[in-house]
Structure 1
Amino acid sequence: MDRLGAGCPLPGCLRLSVLICFLILTASFLSYPIFRTLSLRLHSAVTGSYVSGTYSIVFVNCPNEQIARDIARYFWNGEIEEATEILLLIKTKTSKVHVLSSYIRLVHPFEIPEVFSLPMDQGDVHYFKWLEEGMEED
């Protein structure tokens, strides 16, 4: 009578099966970030949308204003630009960022205004409650 697994001894067959499963799981785990990144970039290319996490904001402590100015020089239209800017912080619902960005592009004097958002992940519960109350839907 033929029984399942009769062609190989059980302990060796079991070890090989476990090893193969381990290798497959390890390969899947290690390749996940690569496949995720590729799929997000493909989705971005097809839909024209932004892939979250592509760009970062870097906060830099400087000992004085001159050092900050030296670091902040940047190229714009082929020349080194040094400009005085004022940072405006606007708190809004994440679902409204797209509408806000469209409005800012209409009224802002720069050809390409610097508009981006950061999600508020943590903070004072009372502040978030106050913020929510101030942004209740009409």
Structure 2
Amino acid sequence: MDRLGSRCPLPGSLRPSVLTCLLILTASFVSYPMLRTLSLQLHSAVTGSYVSGTYSVVFVNCPNEQIAREIARAILDKKLAASVNILPKASSLYFWNGEIEEATEILLLIKTKTSKVHVLSGYIRLVHPFEIPEVFSLPVDQGDVRYFKWLEEGMEED
């Protein structure tokens, strides 16, 4: 009985090792996105290959070409992307306030690192004139490794 009591803590008390494990698990969970990004970059650098999902294409609709160009230039200036295509005259039909609306919009195709999508989306929400701008991304599954290297270089901080 004495041996069992020495190995098992009293009810309601935690051993220091349990607290340490909980702390390590919490830190691992919080740092996972950063560690994953770093490991993907290291893998790509060592192998010279592309890891699926490292880059994304972000889609954003704009009300006119002037606003589209302003947003595109600002994104590039801030190194949030390496390339932006401006596609003219996308016809859009959508529900707004319970009604079907129709508009001609300009579509931005933004090529960026997946790790920058969250910051890019936040920036677009700040500068976009729409109350709820259309901002969504799709990870890039495959592509030319040389192009991805060029994207990487285009987003390097000076």
Higher RCO by CA contacts (8 Å cutoff, separation 6 or greater): 2
Greater Rg over alpha carbons, structure: 1
TM-score (norm 1): 0.45
TM-score for the superposition, normalised by structure 2:
0.40
